[in-house]
Copies of this chain bind each other. A is one copy, B any other.
Amino acid sequence: MSPSTSSNPPLIRDAALRLFAEPGGARASVRDIATAAGVSPALIIRHFGSMEGLREAVDAHVATQIGALLEHIASDPAGAIDPHSSASFADAATRLFGDDSPLPRYLLRSLVDGGDRGAALVELVTRSSVEAWQSMIDAGAVSPGPDPRARAALVAMIDLAALALREPLGSLLGADPLTGEGAERWTAEVARMLARTSPHGASAGSEHEGNPHD
């Protein structure tokens, strides 16, 4: 029997997060998770009370982690879509999500299986997007359009999709939309589309997309 260690609860929680985020992960058993974490099934129950308790702990942790990214973006709202500071979002996303993070896939899991807690997590993301968008409207940087709510919804959807639909989007883009060059290209393209709504943007009209990084 190994010595006692206080690192086991987070270890278990993280193993669960990884498994739950995978295809078929909703059917991961207490024994699957115990094996992945290198502990006994009974220890999971001891620390978290039940499988439901474990799921709650994972959800709470994910909310904290994703909240960190949103906090970062909220400190620089333009950073999310401004082509000149797109590196800021890309850097933050790379740092938080790396190449192998289960968080975006877990967000997707929350969308389909999360019930009330999943809906709350998704709302965390979309509310942050909508607030950032409103800040930019207030600053006069963008236009709310004839149907302001629809436009805000579109902006929020684009943000949510970049996280939750990371994999199909990555296939389409030919690069990971949350890290490195892929993140820069994605945010640049989103910025171009939204820059179209600037009240005083390009004055030449319809299509003026020379070189956004110069």
> Which B residues touch A165, using CB under 8 A?
111, 157, 160-161, 164
Number of copies: 2
A:29-75 near B, CB below 8 Å: none
Mark contacts of A94-123 with chain B using CB atoms, 8 A cut-off: 1 yes-contact digit, 0 otherwise.
000000000001001101111100110011
Chain B residues with Cβ below 8 Å from A205 are: 201-205
CA A164 – CA B192 in complex, angstroms?
A: 25
| CB pair B193 A143 closer than 8 Å | no
The answer to whether B189 and A151 have CB atoms under 8 Å apart is yes
A114 contacts which chain B residues (CB < 8 A)?
A: 23
Least CB separation from A21: chain B residue: B112
How far is A209 from B143 in the complex, measured between Cα atoms in Å? 10
Q: How far is the CB of A51 from chain B (nearest CB, A)?
A: 11
The complex places the Cα of A188 from the Cα of B212 at a distance, in Å, of: 27
* Neighbouring B residues of A171 by C-beta, 8 Å: 123, 126
Q: Mark A144-180, 1 if CB is under 8 A from B, else 0.
A: 0111011111101110111011001101111000000
Q: Supply 15 further A-B pairs (C-beta < 8 A) apart from A26-B27, A145-B192, A164-B165.
A: A23-B113, A108-B112, A112-B112, A149-B172, A150-B173, A150-B186, A151-B193, A153-B172, A153-B189, A156-B172, A193-B194, A196-B196, A199-B207, A200-B206, A201-B207
Between-chain CB contacts (< 8 Å), 24 pairs: A23-B112, A108-B111, A108-B112, A111-B168, A123-B171, A126-B172, A143-B207, A146-B192, A146-B211, A147-B189, A149-B173, A149-B174, A150-B186, A153-B169, A154-B158, A154-B189, A157-B165, A157-B172, A161-B165, A196-B196, A196-B206, A198-B207, A201-B207, A205-B205
